[in-house]
Amino acid sequence: MSITVERLGSSFVAEVHGVDIENLSDADWTVLHRAYLENKILVIPDQDLSVHAFAALGARFGEVVRHPVAKFAHPDEPDVMMLSNDTSYGKPVGVKDAGSFWHSDRSYMQRTSNETMLYSVEIPDEGGDTYFADLEAAYEDLPDATKRRIGGLRYISHYRWTKDRDDPESRWSFMTPEERANTPPTDRPVVRIHPETGRKALFVFPGITTGVKGIVGMEEAESDALLEDLYGHLTQDKFQYRFKWGGPGTVLIWDNRCVMHKATTKQLSADKIRTLYRISTLGGVP
Ligand code: SIN
């Protein structure tokens, strides 16, 4: 069986066939990993994986890291988080919404996440798509003057920080004292250099989990204006790819160092059940 890789989006996202995830040879791993670095997002359909096999795939990429909010870990595989809007057992099977706003996983932590992987267990006949944006394409598309202006800038990120402290999604609403203590503010470069490819990406995010407080050393008004400009730029349709989950048995892998994403699960009605396994690997300090 030979591996085929077909580009789906204009600058990123590829679909992979012919890969035996449970018996991945070193040669196939090399092909898969190169395809991942080149395409930033891989879609691997038609899989039949146990939660343990999915966890093993995560471990092949790197050190698996648990989500800072622990209550929706899979009962048999604590490294795997459950995403689900299924409440038919009397309580939620998993977290319903892993982020209906643009973000990159763990961008607010000292050590960020390299890969995030999802595996579809149950997919509704419509809805629940996942959106992605290519942060390297967005960086490349900036005017040279903006590239020069933001080149050395850093910003402060604080998990679920928001100017609006009454926002029900802010970090104060549901985190334990320990979870809060584990997510202190951290500083990030506005432009991140990918440690494996050397490519540059815009690395700021409008989503609440990333809690971008402001550019270091810049007046608040100037910082807010610059961030708003960058968010407007990043979220243009031309950098996006809308991934439609075809059904169960699909593995999706993305590179948080150069891609941001958002879920649409909040828009799902109660009769449209969607359940996925989720894994993240530990990355470096940008
Ligand atoms: C995630 O944000 O990790 C999951 C995205 C999704 O549920 O579509």
Percent of all residues in the chain with a pLDDT value above 70, rounded to a whole number: 95
Q: How confident is the model at residue 55 (pLDDT cuts 50, 70, 90)?
A: very high
Do 84 and 61 fall into the same domain?
Answer: yes
Give a yes or no: residue 161 inside a domain: yes
Percent over 90 (pLDDT), the chain = 76
| Domain match, 53 and 138 both | no
Q: What's the CA gap between 66 and 253, in Å, rounded?
A: 16
98 lines ligand 1 (CB under 6 A): yes
| CA of 99, closest atom in ligand 1 | 2
Indicate the top mutation candidate among 242, 261, 279 to test ligand 1's pocket, ranked by most ligand atoms within 8 A of CB: 261
**Structure tokens belonging to residue 219:** 């007046």
pLDDT band at 243 (very low <50, low <70, confident <90, very high): very high
Domain assignment present for residue 276? The answer is yes
Cα(109) to ligand 1 centroid in Å equals 18
If asked whether residues 95 and 140 sit together in one domain, one would say: no
Q: Are residues 88 and 118 located together in one domain of the fold?
A: yes
- Asked if residue 37 belongs to a domain, the reply is yes
Sign of CA dihedral 56, 52, 111, 166: positive
Clarify whether residues 159 and 255 are in a common domain: no
Residues 94 and 201 in one domain: no
> Is 65 in the same domain as 105?
yes
Range of the domain at 216: 134-234
In a domain, 117, yes or no: yes
In a domain, 239, yes or no: no
pLDDT, residue 179, reads 81
The residue contributing the CA closest to ligand 1 atom 2 is 98
In a domain, 9, yes or no: yes
CATH of the domain at 17: 3.60.130.10
Residue 34, pLDDT > 90, answer: yes
* 142 and 87 in a common domain: no
pTM for the predicted model, two decimal places: 0.93
263 lines ligand 1 (CB under 6 A): yes
16 and 116, same domain (yes or no): yes
| Amino acid present at 44 | I
Please tell me whether residues 147 and 222 are part of one structural domain.
yes
Sheet architecture: strand order including 240-243: 240-243, 130-134, 259-263
Q: Tell me, what's the pLDDT at 37?
A: 98
Residues 256 and 114 grouped into a single domain = yes
Q: What integer best gives the mean pLDDT of the chain?
A: 92
pLDDT > 70? residue 56: yes
Nearest atom within ligand 1 for CA of residue 280: 3
Instruction: Give pLDDT, residue 165.
Output: 66
- pLDDT score for 90: 66
Residues 200 and 255 in one domain: no
* Burial 29-47, CB ≥16 within 10 A → b, else e: eebbeebbeebbbbbbbeb
Does a structural domain hold residue 210?
Answer: yes
Count how many domains the chain has.
2
Segment 166-204, tens digit of pLDDT: 676 665 667 788 888 888 899 999 999 999 999 999 999
- The predicted-structure confidence for 12-31, as pLDDT tens digits, reads as follows 999 999 999 999 999 999 99
- Is 216 a domain residue? yes
